Structures are given as C-alpha cells and as structure tokens.
Amino acid sequence: MFKYLKQLTSLVAMVAVLFTFTTESMAAKKSKTLKNTQKKGFVRCGVSQGLPGFSNADAAGNWTGIDVDVCRAVAAAVLGDANKVKFTPLSAKERFTALTSGEIDILSRNTTWTLSRDADIGLTFVGVNFYDGQGFMVRKSSGITSTSQFKDGISACTNIGTTTELNMRDFFNSKGIKYEPVAFEKADEVVAAYDAGRCDTYTTDKSGLAAQRTKMSNPDEHIVLPETVSKEPLGPVVRQGDSVWEDIVRWSLNTMIEAEEYGITSANADMMKTSDNPAIKRLVGAEGELGAAFGLDNDWSLRIIKQVGNYGESYKRNIADTGILPDRGPNELWTKGGILYVPPAR
Amino acid sequence: MNFKLKDIVPQLITVTAVVLVFGFFTYNAQINMENRGIDFGYGFLSQESSFDVQFSLIEYDGSHSYFRAYLVGLLNTILVSVIGIIIATILGVIVGVARLSPNYLINKFAAFYVEFFRNIPLLLQIFFWYFAALRALPLPQDAEAIFGVFFLTIKGLYVPAFIWQNFSVFFYSIVAAIIAIIVIRMHAKRVQENQGKQIPVFLISIGLIFILPLLSFLIGGVGISFEVPVLKQLATTSFIYEGGVSLPPELIALTLSLSLYTATFIAECVRAGIQGVGKGQKEAAASIGLTPNQVLKLVIMPQALRIIIPPTTNQYLNLTKNSSLAAAIAYPDLVLVFAGTALMQTGKAIEIVSITMFTYLTLSISISLLMNWYNKKIAIQEK
C-alpha cells in the first residue's frame, strides 16, 4: 500500500511540474530546499541561544553575529534581502535534530566540524567561518595562570552535548588530573553557576569564553588561560542530500571571505563593477555567469557583499568592535598571516 | 452472531487504525533516515562513551560503554525519586494533618505553605533553590562547620564517611531485629483475636531495633569510625574538601524542590482523606470506649488511607517524571546523561529517545503496580 502511495505522490508531483511550466533552472528543480525557501520567502536558520559576537539577539529581537551573517548572506543571495531570515535559537542538544528533521535549513551555530558529525548523522559541513580551540577560564584571584597549575579535585563547568565535554576528558586524563565535570544544558546556566563559584574553571571554545566573559557580573575578575587544548573549526552545517543547497551556503560564505581578500566592501561593491581585475568583476556579477550554476541570478554575490559586507567587515562589526576578540589570530586572511583561504570563485 | 459482530467490528477498526498510523510513522521515519544517510540500530550501546559524569552510584568513567552511562543516569533518577518520595510523604502527611489542626497558627501556616509552593512552576523553584540559594552559600574556605563535621558550601554538602569494622554483623543484627518484630506482631495479632489481650507491639519493636544493633557493637565486634572532610587548597582562592562523602548541590537543590513541591499535593490528599471519613465513625468509635489514639489508628486512618492512596500514587508518578527537569541544573539524571550527552555524541535520536521513554514508562508502571498492590491490601476485605 505504501509503495503505491509513494508512486502516487511522485505522479502527482510530476503532473504538477508538467503543468506549471516553470522557468526555474535545473538546479532549482533539483534543490528542494532552495525551492521551499523561495516559496516561503525566508531562510530558516538555526542559531545559538545567545552567544555575543556569533549569534545574539538584542532587546528588540534583532539578531547579530558572524554566524547570523552567514544566514543573512544566504538570504541575500537566494531571496535578494538579507533580512528575510527566520532565526531559531537552539541548544547544543537540539541543534542537529532540528536540522535533520527539517525544522531549519541552515545550522549556523558555532558548531565544530568533526568526522563523526559529518559522516554519521546525516549532516554536511560546508566550510569554516571561525577557527577556534578549547580553552579554560578561571578567576584572576585564584592565582592560576596556566593549566599546568590545575590540581586534583578541580570542578569544571561546561555545556552538555558538545565536543567540549569529550576534549575536557581527554585533557584531564592526559594530565592525570581527577576532575568534577558539571555539565548544563544551556550556556546561560553554565555562566551563572561558574559566576556563583560552583566551579573553579569554565571550559568551552575560546571565542565562547571571550564572549561569555562579557556576561559575567564582573568581567575583569576572570581570565582566559593561554593554552588551547583542541582544534575547533566552527562552521555552518546543512542537511545531507541536497548538494545544490550545500553549494549555495558554501559559496555564500566563500564570497564573503574572498571579497575581503580582493578589498571589496559593502561601500565600494558597486564601483568595483568597473574594476580591471576579472576576479573582482566575477565577484560583483559584472563578468561570467556564476549564479546560474545554483539557479540564481548573476547579482547574488553582489547582494551578499552590499547587504552583509565581506568577512572582515562582519568580524569587525560583531567580534572586534564589541571587544570580544579584537585580535583576529588564525581568522585573518592567508595573505595576512592567518589561515582563512577559500577556493576561487570562477 | 449479529451481537458478536457488533462487538468485534469497532474493535477491529480501532486496531487497524492504530496499526496504520504507527506503520505510517515508522515507514516515514525509515524513508527520511534512509534519505539522510542515518543508520538505525542499538549497536552504539556497547561503544565507549568517552565522556565523564559528575556524580555516579556505580563505578563509571568515559572508558565505559554508553549502556553503562545509561545505567548511571537511570540510578541517579531513581535515587532522586526515592529520596524525594520519602521526604515528600513525611512532609505531606505532617502538613496535611496540620491543616486540620484547631490551632490557628499551625493551620494557617500549613495552608500558606501549600498555596505558596503548589502555585509556583516547579522549574522556577528548581532554579530558585539552585541559583538563588546556591549563591548565598559560602565558598569552601569560608564555610562554618556544622557540629564540627558537616560543611555546607557552594560546591556541595560534605559529610563524614562511615568506616565500618565487621559491617556484616551489624547488618545481620538489623535483619534479625526486623524478623523478630514481624514474628511478634503476628503473635500479638493472634493473642488479641483469641484472648482480647493487647501486647504493646510498638514499644517492643522500638526496643528491638535499638537493642540488637547495640549488642552487635558491644559483643559482636562491630566498630565504626568517621572520616571527616578536610579542606584542601587547589589555588590561591580555590578550595575543596577531601575525604568523607560529598553530595553535589545539584542533588540537594533538586531533591529539595521536588519534595517541597510534591508535598503540597500529598498534604491535600491526606487532608481530603481524613475529612472524607464520616464524623459518625469517630463518634461511634469513641462511644465504644476507644482512646483518641486508638480511634485514629484503628478507625480513622484505615478508612482515610483508602481515599489517600490512589491520588498519592499520582503524585509519586509526577515526582518521578518531574525529576527529568534535573537537566536544567546539571544533575546527571537519565535525561541529562543519556537523552542529553549520549544522544548528542552518537546522534541516535530515535533510539535514545525511545529507550528513555520506555524506561520512564517502566518506572511509572512499577510504582503504579506497587501502589495498587498496597491499595488492594488496605481496601475493605469482606470476611
């Protein structure tokens, strides 16, 4: 009976396609997610429940952050308006289920790219928008200045369901230190408990530590220790099985990074159309037919740069100017000593 | 024949509908998981979990399997439920009786307690006890010792550990006392039924439960010593207590909020039960010469219990299920450890959620069966 149901649905779908005579490209027809997004008129984006610099809502409900900007870039490319995004705040625990069950179409939530996540649970990581590593925060008054001063019996607050929990075990085990893990479901509760003195140290990605420090009752009382104990490449994730959508998200992010490389900003993007450099002209849609491959028009990348800005602008606006991490560190372009390097848009 | 058909057809339709609905969802889930490249299976349970848990009743660390992590969570859930049920019952009975007290102050105080605690959402109460009360507790180095050996700090309650010599002798002395009490009770009942004489069973029981273990200390070679927690410095301003037993503040806050909340409902069940026994019962019992104590014990309570038990069972079930709110304050119960961390690390959402649901169902049904058995035992038995 269910066999027939499936055939019946595909038959109805085929008839519908035949009779509507759409002018959509092959790519758009292949990508269910793109089609649904265009039909709905907004991009469904999963973000954190509040991590300053990455994804954070203000009192009026406006979301900002570099993770938020990835979704805005996709909205600018696909729908022509960077504001047409519906943000869904998700806990670390809920995030993958929300994506695989189809509740959201992009997960842009400071999520670490690992083999098991990429291969195992029906997800595809499209790139890295922030190179991070796990660190530890302690109270200045404790006198601890390095993780080598940690002793048996130390209690460490963190989030559940993150790579942090696993790295923490690896770290303390390798040092032979007995520790008490105190794992909460939400980041706000981790901060509150650590701030109250429940834990001696708070561990998560260093960017997260820097961002959460701003939420403490007295940020100056806390320091982030210099050691980095893991690799945490954070980036946007999409559902497995829609390669066109995957490409759109990947190249929306790449466009932002490459625009910075070529010095294209939201302010000068229009003027760059007359540039002599063909690479720049391609990025602002003045040359080539790059958008056609995704089923988008040729101005898709220009809209990203004009409405959201390049990666450098996004970083400055969200992370540097807010005082979270003024130094870009590894998140600087490869041409300036960092490791941000994206394939060419051509 | 017609009569039977009328009976069977609606049932057949119901069964078919249920099977179809379930079949549809299973089929749908299967197709979706196939499309997204998600495997289904319970094989992950034997894999190494590679995460640690803060508080465990059995030996566990990240090198154990996911199944072991499941057991850790389950035992923690059972622990908090059992402690919560015991405290809530004691508190509930006291407050329920207090609500019927002729003493204005006691009566109004009990009423205030019930109205206050049952009308605030449980999650808020948990947050209150954990975050607000926790902040008020001293750091380990500032804590004042209670009776010289207990330390209540922001990092937990540290209590002395018992170190036993010949613990088995002590244990058997308690078992022997309990058996003796049961035998004496049965004997007392027989004596009363045959001769009408009453034996002070309660006093004898109290005596036995104290004297036998005491004897085990005096002549059985049982010894006991305490390991008192000692302050240990980790860094300039960072201390913990070592030695003894430490109860995490998460466990304390959760037990406290669950029992304070549920006790209000149990108190109402108890009050309703006592008020549900007709006034005439009490008067009739008094008129045949029973003392007030006997009236309560032999006439009122046996009848009141029949009214009290069924709704109280519901409260026990509620408490057990509500313990899953533990995840909010980092108490490693089944939901936090298994349906939280383990789910995230494996991505096996359907498998883990189904196991968790099945576990809570089993827990609830076990409590139900136990309480139903007790209810049947105290129900009116026609002779």
The model's confidence at residue A7, banded by pLDDT at 50, 70 and 90, is low
Residue A297 belongs to some domain of the structure: yes
- Rounded mean pLDDT of chain A? 88
Q: How many CB atoms lie within 10 A of CB B174?
A: 13
Interchain contact, B341 vs A155, CB within 8 Å: no
Interface with chain A: mutation pick from B47, B50, B51, highest number of A CBs within 10 Å: B51
In whole angstroms, what is the distance from residue A99 CA to residue A91 CA? 12
Residue A346 belongs to some domain of the structure: no
CA A234 vs. chain centroid, Å, equals 6
B262 and B194 in contact (C-beta within 8 Å)?
A: no
Specify whether A122 is located in the same domain as A31. yes
Measure in Å the smallest separation between the Cα of B293 and chain A Cα atoms: 49
**DSSP bridge pairs for A123:** A239
The model's confidence at residue B201, banded by pLDDT at 50, 70 and 90, is confident
Closest C-alpha among A94, A328, A75, A161 to residue B344: A161
Specify whether A80 is located in the same domain as A226. no
In whole angstroms, what is the distance from residue A201 CA to residue A34 CA? 44
Measure in Å the smallest separation between the Cα of B346 and chain A Cα atoms: 8
Q: Which residues of chain B make contact with A160, given a CB cutoff of 8 A? A: 327, 336, 340-341, 344
Interface with chain A: mutation pick from B21, B44, B238, B354, highest number of A CBs within 10 Å: B238
Interchain contact, B345 vs A161, CB within 8 Å: yes
Q: Which residues of chain A make contact with B332, given a CB cutoff of 8 A? A: 183
Torsion of CA A249, A254, A260, A266, to 10 degrees: -30
Closest C-alpha among A205, A226, A228, A224 to residue A216: A224
| Per-residue model confidence (pLDDT) at position B132 | 87
The model's confidence at residue A4, banded by pLDDT at 50, 70 and 90, is low
Specify whether A56 is located in the same domain as A158. no
| Per-residue model confidence (pLDDT) at position A30 | 72
B330 and A182 in contact (C-beta within 8 Å)?
A: yes
Is B204 at the interface with chain A, CB within 8 A? Answer: no
Residue of A nearest to B61 (CA): A169
Residue A306 belongs to some domain of the structure: yes
Residue of B nearest to A3 (CA): B27
Specify whether A126 is located in the same domain as A15. yes
Closest C-alpha among B91, B141, B30, B31 to residue B267: B91
Q: Which residues of chain B make contact with A92, given a CB cutoff of 8 A? A: 344
Measure in Å the smallest separation between the Cα of B349 and chain A Cα atoms: 7
The model's confidence at residue A23, banded by pLDDT at 50, 70 and 90, is very low
Task: Count Cβ neighbours within 10 Å for each residue of B304-330 and write b for 16 or more, e otherwise.
Answer: bbbbbbeebbebbbbbbebbbbbbbbb
The CATH number assigned to the domain holding A170 equals 3.40.190.10
In this predicted structure, the answer to whether residue A317 has a pLDDT above a threshold of 50 is yes
**Which of A212, A230, A248 lies at the terminal end of a domain, its last residue?**
A230
B300 is written with which tokens?
């009122």
Task: Give the ipTM of the model, two decimals please.
Answer: 0.79
- Per-residue DSSP letter, A16: H
A150 and A177 in contact (C-beta within 8 Å)?
A: yes
Tens of pLDDT along B5-62? 778 888 899 999 999 999 998 888 888 777 766 778 888 899 998 899 988 889 998 8
Please report the number of interchain residue pairs, chain A to chain B, with beta-carbon separation below 8 angstroms: 135
B59 is written with which tokens?
């030996």
Measure in Å the smallest separation between the Cα of A304 and chain B Cα atoms: 29
Measure in Å the smallest separation between the Cα of A141 and chain B Cα atoms: 6
Specify whether A13 is located in the same domain as A159. no
**Which of A181, A211, A230 lies at the terminal end of a domain, its last residue?**
A230
Which whole number is the average pLDDT over A236-260? 94
Is B27 at the interface with chain A, CB within 8 A? Answer: yes
Closest C-alpha among B249, B316, B261, B280 to residue B123: B261
For B344, the closest of A100, A122, A161 (CB atoms) is: A161
Tens of pLDDT along B127-154? 999 988 887 888 888 888 877 778 888 8
Measure in Å the smallest separation between the Cα of A134 and chain B Cα atoms: 16
Specify whether A115 is located in the same domain as A240. yes
In this predicted structure, the answer to whether residue A11 has a pLDDT above a threshold of 70 is no
In whole angstroms, what is the distance from residue B234 CA to residue B1 CA? 83
Give phi and psi for B154, each to the nearest 5: -65, -25
Q: Which residues of chain B make contact with A149, given a CB cutoff of 8 A? A: 235
A185 and B327 in contact (C-beta within 8 Å)?
A: yes
Is B266 at the interface with chain A, CB within 8 A? Answer: no
Specify whether A26 is located in the same domain as A116. yes
Specify whether A217 is located in the same domain as A255. no
Is B328 at the interface with chain A, CB within 8 A? Answer: yes
Is B156 at the interface with chain A, CB within 8 A? Answer: no
Task: Count Cβ neighbours within 10 Å for each residue of A235-262 and write b for 16 or more, e otherwise.
Answer: bbbbbbebebbbbbbbbbbbbbbbbbbb
Residue-range definition of the domain harbouring residue A75 = 2-131+234-336
The letter for the amino acid at A45 is C
CA angle B232, B236, B241 (to 5 degrees): 20
A180 and A201 in contact (C-beta within 8 Å)?
A: no
Interchain contact, B154 vs A153, CB within 8 Å: no
* Contacts of range B100-108, beta carbons closer than 8 Å, 24 or more positions apart: B100/B271, B100/B274, B100/B275
Interchain contact, B38 vs A153, CB within 8 Å: no
Residue A277 belongs to some domain of the structure: yes
Residue A79 belongs to some domain of the structure: yes
Give phi and psi for B294, each to the nearest 5: -65, -35
Interface with chain B: mutation pick from A6, A93, A109, A222, highest number of B CBs within 10 Å: A93
In whole angstroms, what is the distance from residue A133 CA to residue A206 CA? 6
Exposed, middle or buried, B334 (CB in 10 Å: 0-12/13-18/19+)? buried
The model's confidence at residue A15, banded by pLDDT at 50, 70 and 90, is low
In this predicted structure, the answer to whether residue A18 has a pLDDT above a threshold of 70 is no
Residue A30 belongs to some domain of the structure: yes
In this predicted structure, the answer to whether residue B237 has a pLDDT above a threshold of 50 is yes
CA B125 vs. chain centroid, Å, equals 18
Residue A345 belongs to some domain of the structure: no
Tens of pLDDT along B241-289? 887 788 899 999 999 999 999 999 999 999 999 999 988 998 999 999 9
**Which of A209, A230, A251 lies at the terminal end of a domain, its last residue?**
A230
| Per-residue model confidence (pLDDT) at position A22 | 45
Tens of pLDDT along B78-91? 999 999 999 999 99
In whole angstroms, what is the distance from residue A258 CA to residue A333 CA? 9
For B27, the closest of A2, A239, A241 (CB atoms) is: A2
Which whole number is the average pLDDT over A39-60? 93
CA A191 vs. chain centroid, Å, equals 22
The number of domains in chain A is 2
User: Helices A66-79 and A32-40 meet at what angle, rounded to 10?
Assistant: 90
Tens of pLDDT along B160-178? 888 877 788 888 888 888 9
Is B23 at the interface with chain A, CB within 8 A? Answer: yes
Specify whether A216 is located in the same domain as A241. no
Which whole number is the average pLDDT over B328-348? 89
B49 and B69 in contact (C-beta within 8 Å)?
A: yes
Give phi and psi for A92, each to the nearest 5: -55, -35
In this predicted structure, the answer to whether residue A14 has a pLDDT above a threshold of 60 is no
| Per-residue model confidence (pLDDT) at position A56 | 93
Specify whether A16 is located in the same domain as A126. yes
Residue of A nearest to B31 (CA): A6
Interchain contact, A122 vs B135, CB within 8 Å: no
In whole angstroms, what is the distance from residue B55 CA to residue B33 CA? 35
Residue A17 belongs to some domain of the structure: yes
End-to-end CA distance of chain A: 48
Give phi and psi for B48, each to the nearest 5: -70, 130
Closest C-alpha among A234, A236, A65, A70 to residue A163: A234
Specify whether A122 is located in the same domain as A246. yes
Specify whether A243 is located in the same domain as A100. yes
Q: Which residues of chain A make contact with B329, given a CB cutoff of 8 A? A: 184, 189
